[in-house]
Amino acid sequence: MISFNEPVNISKGVEYINKVIQENKRLNGDGEYTKRCSEWLEKNFHAKKVLLTTSCTHALEMAALLCEIKVGDEVIMPSYTFVTTANAFVLRGAKVKFVDIRKDTMNMDETLIENAITKKTRAIVPVHYAGVGCEMDAIMQIAKDYHLFVVEDAAQGMMATYKEKFLGTIGDFGTYSFHETKNYTMGEGGLILINQESYISKGEIIREKGTNRTQFFRGEVDKYSWVDIGSSYLPSEMNAAYLYAQLEIANEINQKRLDMWDRYYAGLKRLEQKERIELPHIPEECQHNGHIFYIKTKDLDERTKLLNFLKTNGIGAVFHYVPLHSSIAGKKYGEFIGEDKYTTRESERLIRLPMFYALKDEEIDYIIEKIEEFYQTN
């Protein structure tokens, strides 16, 4: 069976975890490896401040707190996203305004955002699906015109860029995920990128349970105490150690995923030319990161048949999000603005193919072969 995903396994990760346990003897957060990860990320992404978190969910919750989202506020985002994107803001009392996606990238349609803005709107949350950037110039201009925050959900976007700017570094805040399904993993984990100097201190306080403990350890205050609301968002040093081993070879991991993505694309291009499937579209201004390789079938019925066929042949292909606006909580806490022209229809056509660091070329070739076989008889 070819799994859909296997977490990245770098031998040095175990070595670094052992060092944390046996030599450093410090398992809680903000130790040697948390600092190493943060420094690497800030340097390579030209980020003002990076704070590792226990998950991308918690990074988004921190962003909502930094935006001071409150009851009655509205936040605009796509419906085609993971529940976390909405939950972080709903927890603060906001109502979610969903807008339709673009058919080509599966990202929020930037031309529909203004129609969803009201006097209650506080933030726009673009989601960079599959590590392909949203149209950030347009989104940032809208945010500037209406004095709104921009929180980039770049859970899938590490190492990807929009006009040579790393995803997550363009808006006021950005978030990454290091869940085991992501290109770089610490099992469960994430980070928040704080791109405005004025929010760095508050971000540190929120992450440290609402205390100024971080400033205390830097010698900036003579004692630390509870100074604001917050929670415990620090990941364990063991998680950070596992991640750091991957950051040391981040470019190698990224290139391997791009090579695998290219192999899929080249091998399946014939079926697209025959108009049997659709392949991903990468806008010229975007550099993706090979996070997801998906195909689109004719419709939901064909997708179901193909998924069953692949499963029968030992291939762990899967669909993705069920649009949030169609869910029980989505109807309770959100509202779809405008026409659902693409969100539901395109989500029902999409299949994600196996994609992980240890995936072999011959396995990709086998998957391509089986997809071609399916369309020869259907």
| The domain defined by 11-247 carries CATH number 3.40.640.10 | yes
* pLDDT tens track for 187-206: 999 999 999 999 999 999 99
In this predicted structure, what is the pLDDT of residue 214? 81
Domain ranges of the chain: 11-247, 250-376
Mean pLDDT, all residues of the chain: 96
Q: Are 174 and 154 in contact (CB under 8 A)?
A: yes
Q: Is the pLDDT of residue 219 over 80?
A: no
pLDDT band at 174 (very low <50, low <70, confident <90, very high): very high
Percentage of residues in the chain having pLDDT higher than 70? 100
Question: Which class would CATH give 250-376?
Answer: alpha beta
DSSP 8-state assignment for residue 267: H
Q: Is the pLDDT of residue 39 over 80?
A: yes
The pTM for the full model equals 0.96
Q: Is the pLDDT of residue 252 over 90?
A: yes
The stretches of the chain forming alpha helices (DSSP H) are: 11-19, 32-45, 56-66, 83-90, 113-116, 136-146, 200-207, 213-217, 237-247, 250-273, 300-312, 328-333, 343-347, 361-376
In this predicted structure, what is the pLDDT of residue 321? 93
DSSP 8-state assignment for residue 323: P
Residue 338 Rama label (left phi>0; alpha psi -120 to 50; beta): left
* pLDDT tens track for 107-166: 999 999 999 999 999 999 999 999 999 999 999 999 999 999 999 999 999 999 999 999
Q: What mean pLDDT do residues 249-265 have?
A: 98
| Distance between CA atoms of residues 341 and 311, nearest Å | 30
| Distance between CA atoms of residues 355 and 263, nearest Å | 11
- Phi first, then psi: what are they for 98, rounded to 5°? -90, 140
